[in-house]
């Protein structure tokens, strides 16, 4: 890209823009092949917000877990509060999904590791 002129960036040429897009796509493809990566199809603008928030949360939870109990970092009790709050938020999102499915007359199939919070418990009486 051309240098700044009078404090303003000069516009990229079509070729520069095409090359940048190509490099961005190549980087995405490299990341998609990693074992610790997941792909999410965005169907709404809300999804973009959730994805950005999730990325930050994932990073921060990793730091919390890796630094709890160490001098000068985060106390175990405080780390436990953060982890419990993250768990509560996941359960709230699971409940929201179940409620939306019920309202729309759809069966809720929760993701692996979760249960349908609205599913009626079967009793041993029948």
Say whether pLDDT at 51 is over 70.
yes
124 versus 10: the higher-pLDDT residue is 10
Instruction: State residue 85's pLDDT score.
Output: 98
- Report residue 70 as tokens: 């160490």
Say whether pLDDT at 58 is over 90.
yes
Average of per-residue pLDDT across 114-121: 89
Question: How many domains, the chain?
Answer: 1
Question: Phi-psi category of 6—alpha, beta or left, where left has phi over 0 and alpha has psi -120 to 50?
Answer: left
Q: For residue 12, is it within any domain?
A: no
Residue written as tokens 């729309």?
A: 104
Q: For residue 25, is it within any domain?
A: no
Q: For residue 126, is it within any domain?
A: no
Parent domain of 47: 41-116
Say whether pLDDT at 123 is over 60.
no
Residue written as tokens 């095409």?
A: 18
31 versus 61: the higher-pLDDT residue is 61
Instruction: State residue 19's pLDDT score.
Output: 94
- CB within 8 Å of 3: residues ≥ 6 apart: 10
């Amino acid at each position: 890209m051309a240098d700044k002129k009078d404090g303003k960036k000069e516009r990229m040429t079509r070729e520069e823009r095409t090359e940048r897009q190509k490099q961005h796509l190549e980087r995405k493809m490299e990341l998609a092949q990693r074992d610790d990566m997941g792909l999410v199809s965005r169907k709404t603008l809300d999804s973009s917000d959730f994805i950005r928030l999730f990325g930050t949360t994932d990073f921060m939870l990793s730091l919390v877990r890796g630094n709890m109990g160490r001098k000068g970092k985060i106390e175990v009790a405080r780390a436990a509060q953060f982890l419990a709050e993250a768990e509560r938020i996941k359960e709230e999102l699971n409940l929201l999904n179940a409620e939306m499915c019920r309202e729309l007359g759809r069966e809720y199939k929760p993701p692996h590791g979760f249960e349908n919070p609205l599913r009626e418990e079967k009793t041993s009486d029948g």
